[in-house]
Amino acid sequence: MKQFWSPSSINKNKAMVEKLQNHGIVTSDEVAKAMEAVDRGVFVPDRSSAYIDCPMSIGYNVTISAPHMHAMCLQLLEKHLKPGMRVLDVGSGTGYLTACFAVMVGSEGRAIGVEHIPELVASSVKNIEASAASPLLKEGSLAVHVGDGRQGWAEFAPYDAIHVGAAAPEIPEALIDQLKPGGRLVIPVGNIFQDLQVVDKNSDGSVSIKNETSVRYVPLTSREAQLRGD
């Protein structure tokens, strides 16, 4: 598993972001500011390990991705996370990336998390309440819902940016439908072998797809299959 720094070398959120910048993963000021504002330690079960560059189990056969993967996805979506834009986070887990998205699009935008494990939704709301994104949650520009993320969240579509935090065997049609022309979807696709795919929707409604990198995510599946560990 790729790891960009050793556990002993880092223990603070700002230092984590600086490491990501030093390794060329975080390249924009906007992404750096969002990741510095949203303390990853609030969103993981074991704060002492929060800033280590590896995924962590969060229960329910789900993991929170490594910091470098979160940073990569924020960078890939950065131009679609400007103030006032709309973003959907499918498989929002502990709420970390949803909070980062919300900070980037601001109070004039909208950030929606969708997670099919109700207990994770409840705990993610508490995490967000303890984070820099708390005011956005209170005013309603940030929300997390219980639902099947494969169906997106039609209420606030179309979205400028959609992020999926679990691997789909193929790109769900509902997510492409809910993507705004000019918008971007970042999603891991595959079963055993997975690629992080970047899907850009053109002005005529057609899509362009490119593979960014090989990845390993938990499957995007039903709540029942998730809990069974299928």
Is 57 marked active-site?
A: no
Neighbour count for residue 26 (Cβ, 10 Å)? 27
| Contacts of the segment 170-179: beta carbons below 8 A, 24+ positions apart | 171/197, 171/199, 171/209, 172/220, 174/150, 175/88, 175/90, 175/150, 176/201, 176/207, 177/152, 178/88, 178/152, 178/153, 178/154
Q: Residue 9 contacts by C-beta under 8 Å, 6 or more apart in sequence?
A: 19
Say if residues 99 and 64 touch (Cβ distance below 8 Å): no
| Helices and strands in the chain: count of H runs, count of E runs | 8, 9
Among candidate residues 49, 57, 65, 206, the one labeled active-site is 65
Instruction: For residue 69, give the H/E element and its range.
Output: helix 67-77
Q: 189 pairs with which residues across the strands?
A: 168, 195
Give the Cα separation of 158 and 213 in Å (integer): 26
Q: Which residues are catalytic?
A: 65
